[in-house]
Homo-oligomer: A and B are copies of this chain.
Amino acid sequence: MPFKFDLITTDPTGARAGRVTTPHGEIETPFFMPVGTKAAVKALTPEELRALGAQIVLSNTYHLYLRPGHKVIEALGGLHGFMNWNGPILTDSGGYQVFSLGKLSKIDEAGVRFSSHLDGTPLVLTPESAMEIQESLGADIIMVLDECTPHPATHDYARESMERTHRWALRCKEAHAGAERANYQALFGIVQGSMYPDLRVESAKAIIDIGFDGYAIGGLSVGEEKAQMREMCALTAAELPADSPRYLMGVGTPEDLVASVEAGIDMFDCVMPTRNARNGTLFTSRGKLGIKNALFERDNGPLDSECSCYTCANYSRAYLRHLFIAGEMLSSRLNTIHNLHYYTGLMASMRQAIKAGEFAGFKSKFLARLEEGVK
């Protein structure tokens, strides 16, 4: 089944509900993608992800390119079979991790030269190789190579970086168009432009002109103020075509997700629920909770009395605190289950509210609950 997006309804606030169709199944929008960096969402099995309501998983091209290598994964039948997840998968281009993890040597028109953070091997990533690698991995949705413009950036650098990103986007589209897998791998473009409204608008138009299956907003949540992030997100989203999915990359907190859905975003990914889980920070209907807190030493209650996840149904805060302090892997696992359940549950609640045309009411209740604080 080829890639397709159906917009089902738009709430009075601008929040959208729809459906993405991929060769590996349908996804209700708006949705959150758990991050499976190295072909595994840390500590969880695919069955658990499915049971948690995860509809799609994101995996990182940079990590898989380095280890075990995209050719190995291709030889084993692609990422779906390799990681035993037969639902939809999105891979990023690898560019973001080259900039954040690799030792960057040079960025020029051709692409990016960098050294592996694992063993220092000198490597190159170009728009063409980013396509080739992602084609080998075989995800349902793949991303163009872009430069996530560092923050803060001068207007001049932001323009230079953005324009190169546009040229790379075109090369990605051309490279992928010739690929055997082009029919069933959707390709998304990425809008950059740093924190400059004029560049954001210009970038959106340029990327739309090239034409992609979906449009991502990159370069946000890079250190700017929340208000600025939300302003950039909203003004960029407003430029994007209504009949394509909109993906806000690498964002964010529960409050960010709610604000961005209101701005018309359909897709999210972030390491926050999974990474925070491993660090002992849990999301609840009344805000965040640090499980290490001595207050919980003899607390026989669940993390969140309103949560229906496996962890809350079976384990006390006291036990979860013990597992965390003792460094038990089960701690990461139970915490990850809880946090992902929170994120997927939040997305499901938003979809429901949008379909009922009640997103504004949902949002105010959601924020009011968060402000009550954890008891």
Write the residues of chain A forming the contact surface with B, with a CB cutoff of 8 angstroms.
38-40, 42-45, 63, 67-68, 72, 75-77, 82-84, 297-298, 300, 314-316, 318-319, 321-323, 325-326, 328-330, 332-334
Distance of A203 from chain B, by nearest CB (Å): 35
Chain B CB count within 10 A is highest, among A42, A318, A323, A329, for A329
CB pairs A–B below 8 angstroms (30 shown): A38-B322, A38-B323, A38-B326, A38-B328, A39-B323, A40-B326, A40-B330, A42-B328, A42-B329, A43-B330, A43-B333, A44-B330, A45-B333, A67-B325, A67-B326, A68-B322, A68-B325, A72-B297, A72-B298, A72-B318, A75-B298, A76-B298, A76-B300, A76-B316, A76-B318, A76-B319, A82-B316, A82-B318, A83-B319, A84-B319
The residues of B that contact A333 with a CB separation of less than 8 Å are 43, 45, 329, 333
The residues of B that contact A82 with a CB separation of less than 8 Å are 316, 318-319, 322
Decide yes or no: A329 and B326 within 8 Å by CB, A77-B300, A319-B83 being known contacts: no
Q: How many copies does the complex hold?
A: 2
Cα A44 to Cα B330 in complex, Å, equals: 6
Cα A76 to Cα B319 in complex, Å, equals: 9
Cβ-defined contact, A319 with B39, below 8 A: yes
Chain B CB count within 10 A is highest, among A316, A318, A326, for A326
Cα A53 to Cα B43 in complex, Å, equals: 22
Distance of A303 from chain B, by nearest CB (Å): 14
Cβ-defined contact, B40 with A323, below 8 A: yes
The residues of B that contact A39 with a CB separation of less than 8 Å are 319, 322-323
Q: Which residue of chain B is the closest to A313 with respect to CB atoms?
A: B84
Cα A72 to Cα B297 in complex, Å, equals: 8
Which of B77, B298, B318, B329 is the one whose CB lies under 8 Å from A329?
Answer: B329
The residues of B that contact A316 with a CB separation of less than 8 Å are 76, 82
Q: Which residue of chain B is the closest to A322 with respect to CB atoms?
A: B68
The residues of B that contact A67 with a CB separation of less than 8 Å are 322, 325-326
Sample of 20 further A-B pairs with CB below 8 A, known A38-B326, A72-B297, A76-B319? A38-B323, A38-B328, A40-B326, A40-B328, A42-B329, A42-B330, A67-B322, A68-B297, A68-B318, A68-B321, A72-B322, A76-B298, A82-B316, A82-B319, A83-B319, A84-B314, A84-B315, A84-B319, A329-B332, A333-B333
